[in-house]
Structure 1
């Protein structure tokens, strides 16, 4: 054995040699060369694979670039243009439909994506800014074949995240990337704590600290007459740029919002519109419904609200104010801050579903967080339910 170690660590100077061990002849240099060649080949192959994939994980390749780069994309997705006559700014916007059962088209399901322009002009005479909307002539139809219980593509929000326009289906829990008229599935969100065999009923989406937050109704899941079944809609999903999902129990936050609104259980709030304000470092909620009474499916249609709730990051300090008039059948379904306004001006959608009148509509409005109105509620063409708005 001593001779073996000497042969390895103190080889003779010849180009090749043999060493006798029992009846075997070991050609050491040849074996070392072969071993080094194999190792070198593996290293080269690894580097080639890394180069071809950009060194990204599978989840990151969904975005096409590194997650860090894509997550830091500018907002909005397109540059604003000068307003007419060079006054003010023109912002590209989009809204998305939730057609409920009407979304089915034979073997697929659809949603309508409508684009338009918001012309925004700050005045200097003390009056609210001027806000004017124009819309493209044709809507874009986006399709999917993914469904749950025969329903799908009931898209309930729009948000820009990681350089992409995303929407969430409140039936299947699928988060779609909307691009070039296509709905490309990115994530499937499980309900509640993530261990539930049902898709998450996502209703609002916002970006905070380089993460995408996706929330549900914010109240207990109940029967049509208000008996509590579970707390799954009170979880929030926090998603990284590369698609990793964390399921967060937000019951304390939602309960704090109910209390701040002056309600007590079995009273409730229903949330479909929530945004994190980067400029003000606070959460803002425009509840769709508010009631001091027990939930009732039919009565809920006439519990629209004009409440704005502003909460600090820990939900220990929450302020309540009112914006616009109360119209019982109109409830907030989505809103965004108008860029360049320091998160003080909001463009919002209000949905109407009135079974008694057999009426479904969407209204768009612009107002400030202190209650000034620049654009009163204006119906969108088509008598459809649009539940997501975003600057694109």
Structure 2
């Protein structure tokens, strides 16, 4: 039996010891939606990759974040039905920095600020012509798990179409993909806050903690009412869901106050905190405008850095690079 060797180095760049703590290099990527295309006639699609520094002081539990002056432009010529490079997540796996296009289903590796296609994920059980709408990704047991929204696919008015976004993918280090129906797990997550279909919960961030041996989810949006495209913009959450490995027990924490237009789009545990401190991005989309914020808090809900605006763009992936 052939076994792939897994590289566990994380973060890719060791933090620097500075006067006020540990200085980590971080990166975030945009999902520009239809604005990803350079021009109508162009065969290039782009995403902005912004790097910065996060300084953590463990003595005083303080966090400072500084961004580089300008983002790098990541460019690809791959698209599906005229859409592409709508990047939703950023994850280090097996020593590679990976990012995920939620339109084409392509998983890219970022090398020297270029994007190199690695794997293509297709919707639902994989027997589909539609790209998988990757929204979150995490490493568990030497495999990369990639998930979607975790809700039924519906019309803009909430009528059921299929449950393809409730499948997840498991990718081995050699690129082999398995398709896993996670409908029951996603149902258990929303039931923990008394939501049943046609109510819904939209996930854009999920992380497996090897330290706690638990799943952590920060849903972007949820409602006990059925999905409605317009109302959905005001259904942000402040919920942290912590599930055991089999989703038999799910704990619910509240992170600050609900700001209806803002929802979590990605998060990572701060290295060296034993998976106790979380750095997260929030996205805001309403009335045709976008914005992104970074926030830091503990898994008990203590806020260490309140929402700090990044830009009037939708940044969706965050990783310690």
For the aligned pair, the TM-score class normalised by the smaller chain equals: over 0.9
Equivalent residue for 2:4, pick from 67, 87, 93: 67
From the two aligned structures, give the one with the greater helix fraction: 1
Structure-to-structure mapping, 1:337-376, within 5 angstroms: 337-355=269-287, 358-376=288-306
C-alpha distance in structure 1 between counterparts of 2:298 and 2:170, whole Å: 28
Partner of 1:90: 23
Task: Find the residue that maps to 1:67 and give its secondary structure.
Answer: coil
Residue 322 of structure 1 deviates from its aligned partner by: 0.3
Given that 1:118 and 1:133 are in contact with CA atoms closer than 8 Å, whether structure 2 keeps it comes out as yes
Partner of 1:385: 314
Given that 2:217 and 2:240 are in contact with CA atoms closer than 8 Å, whether structure 1 keeps it comes out as yes
Task: Find the residue that maps to 1:177 and give its secondary structure.
Answer: strand
Structure-to-structure mapping, 1:204-223, within 5 angstroms: 204-223=136-155
Partner of 2:58: 122
Residue 258 of structure 1 deviates from its aligned partner by: 1.0
The alignment covers a number of residue pairs equal to: 318
Query: Would you say 1:200 and 2:200 are equivalent positions?
Result: no
Partner of 1:103: 36
Equivalent residue for 2:212, pick from 264, 276, 280: 280
Partner of 1:293: 225
C-alpha distance in structure 2 between counterparts of 1:385 and 1:269, whole Å: 20
Partner of 1:4: none
Query: Would you say 1:113 and 2:49 are equivalent positions?
Result: yes
Unaligned 5+ segments in structure 2 are none
Given that 2:201 and 2:221 are in contact with CA atoms closer than 8 Å, whether structure 1 keeps it comes out as yes
Given that 1:261 and 1:309 are in contact with CA atoms closer than 8 Å, whether structure 2 keeps it comes out as no
Residue 264 of structure 1 deviates from its aligned partner by: 2.2
Given that 2:187 and 2:196 are in contact with CA atoms closer than 8 Å, whether structure 1 keeps it comes out as no
Task: Find the residue that maps to 1:115 and give its secondary structure.
Answer: strand
Residue 72 of structure 1 deviates from its aligned partner by: 2.4
Task: Find the residue that maps to 1:324 and give its secondary structure.
Answer: coil
Structure-to-structure mapping, 1:262-273, within 5 angstroms: 262-273=194-205
From the two aligned structures, give the one with the greater strand fraction: 2
**Larger Rg belongs to:** 1
C-alpha distance in structure 1 between counterparts of 2:295 and 2:96, whole Å: 25
Residue 266 of structure 1 deviates from its aligned partner by: 1.2
Q: Deviations over 1:137-169 (max 9, x none)?
A: 121111110101101000000000011110110
Structure-to-structure mapping, 1:154-303, within 5 angstroms: 154-303=86-235
TM-score, normalised with respect to structure 2: 0.97
C-alpha distance in structure 2 between counterparts of 1:347 and 1:144, whole Å: 28
Pairwise CA RMSD: 1.3
Task: Find the residue that maps to 1:102 and give its secondary structure.
Answer: helix
Residue 287 of structure 1 deviates from its aligned partner by: 0.2
Task: Find the residue that maps to 1:258 and give its secondary structure.
Answer: helix
Runs of 4+ in structure 1 displaced over 6 angstroms?
none
Task: Find the residue that maps to 1:380 and give its secondary structure.
Answer: strand
Q: Deviations over 1:173-230 (max 9, x none)?
A: 0000011110000011111001111110000000000000000000010000001111
